[in-house]
Each structure stands twice: as C-alpha cells, then as structure tokens.
A and B are shown apart, each in its own frame.
Chain A
Amino acid sequence: AQTVTQSQPEMSVQEAETVTLSCTYDTSENNYYLFWYKQPPSRQMILVIRQEAYKQQNATENRFSVNFQKAAKSFSLKISDSQLGDTAMYFCAFMKRNNAGNMLTFGGGTRLMVKP
C-alpha cells in the first residue's frame, strides 16, 4: 500500500514571495503519477500540477513547479509570486493506474495562507 505524507500542516507566506510545500511518499511501484490538488475555502478541489514518474523533467504550470526526486520519494510544490488567491488547502496525491480505475492516495494536506 502507498502512503503520502505532508509534514507541514500549516504554512504562511507574504504576497509575491515564494513558498515550498513538502510531500514524501512510500511505494514499491516504479510507474505511478503524482499530483498536487488545491482546495480553496468552501470551493471545489482543482488540479494544480501533475508529474509522471517516468519523466525526469520537473513539471511546471505558470507560477507552480515541482521538485520531483524519485529516488528520495519526494515531490515538493513551489509557488512563485504568491497571490492572495493561492490561499487554500493543498493536497499531495499518489496514483497507480490499474484496470479498476485510477485511485488516489492523498496526503493529510497543508493549509497555506497568503498574507497581504
């Protein structure tokens, strides 16, 4: 079974600064996918960024980038130029595809507050 650990329950950052959210996972699989989801207060969960384990290049989506260290089983999220709208709960998630669907294993979440 896979486990996902987010060691920072809460974090804060000043607007326009950079923040990094940590995520580690444990798996014996070689082919898998990793995601960061964002859940703003009282709003729905949306995908921020995804990374395929077979790709060495770190994924980037505008101000969001990841540092994927496969050997260390680490998958951190960097948010550059933080904006007030980035305030949300962030969940790191692991996925192993199989014939019965694509099940996600979530970490416990990191609550990020962006301060003006």
Chain B
Amino acid sequence: DAMVIQNPRYQVTQFGKPVTLSCSQTLNHNVMYWYQQKSSQAPKLLFHYYDKDFNNEADTPDNFQSRRPNTSFCFLDIRSPGLGDAAMYLCATSRDGGLSYEQYFGPGTRLTVT
C-alpha cells in the first residue's frame, strides 16, 4: 500500500545533541510537510517542500532545518534540541493538482529530550 513512513517511531536525544528524523513516501506526492504536535494540541506547521522549493513558516525556530534530497524522502534536523522541543513530529504529503489534494500523514516520531 502507498503510504507515508516515518523513522524512527520513538527517538530519545540528549539536550543539545543534534538529531535527525526521517520521512519517506510511496505516494509520489510533490509536497511534503513537517509538523510539530505537542500533547493534546493541534499540529503546528514548521515548513514544507513544494517540489524542491523550501517554504519556512515565519515562527519556526532556526534550530529546525529540513532537507529533501529527492521526491520520496524528507528529513527534519534539530540542531540543538532543547527540552521544549520534546513533541510528536508528523510528516505529511499532498499532491498539488488533480483530484486528490488532502494531506496524508505518517504515524509520527515521538521525540524525547533528556
């Protein structure tokens, strides 16, 4: 089945130690998104890629970076995680154009910062 895959599902990192979260998709969607979701809150968009074009949300901290080496993969890099960065990180994809435009979400990576 076509899907959005996130690895790892659970990640523990130390305060200040860089960490990378991974997202891959088999849907061949051209848009990929990264959200941060804290407990019992709505997902908050960090940034997204429209094809190769990176779009950063105005209030996304500089500590968060992203890479999209090809259509299928997208990475979220947290350069110096703080305790406040502990959250669920959701990857989503969509296709611009055509009949299908909703976002498809991965299962998320739960990040713990110790």
Do A103 and B48 have beta carbons less than 8 Å apart?
A: yes
Q: Which residues of A contact B31 (CB under 8 A)?
A: 101-102
Q: Which residues of A contact B102 (CB under 8 A)?
A: 33, 35, 47, 50, 95, 102
CB of A11 within 8 A of chain B? Answer: no
Do A43 and B101 have beta carbons less than 8 Å apart?
A: no
Question: Within residues 71 to 107 of chain B, which ones have a CB less than 8 A from any CB in chain A?
Answer: 90, 94, 96, 101-107
B111 to chain A, nearest CB (A): 15
Do A44 and B103 have beta carbons less than 8 Å apart?
A: no
Do B101 and A97 have beta carbons less than 8 Å apart?
A: yes
Do B107 and A43 have beta carbons less than 8 Å apart?
A: yes
In the complex the two chains form, what is the Cα distance from A35 to B104 in whole Å?
12
Q: Secondary structure at chain A's binding surface: helix, strand, loop or mixed?
A: strand
Interface centre among A45, A99, A111, by most chain B C-beta atoms within 10 angstroms, is A45
Residue of A nearest to B33 (CB): A101
Query: B-facing mask of A15-47, CB < 8 A → 1, else 0?
Result: 000000000000000000101010000011111
Q: Which residues of A contact B42 (CB under 8 A)?
A: 91, 106-109
In the complex the two chains form, what is the Cα distance from A67 to B45 in whole Å?
27
The 3 closest A-B pairs by CB, nearest first: A106-B42, A45-B105, A44-B107
B residues adjacent to A (C-beta < 8 A): 31, 33, 40-43, 45, 48, 50, 53, 55, 90, 94, 96, 101-108
A residues adjacent to B (C-beta < 8 A): 33, 35, 37, 43-47, 50, 89, 91, 95, 97, 99-104, 106-109, 111
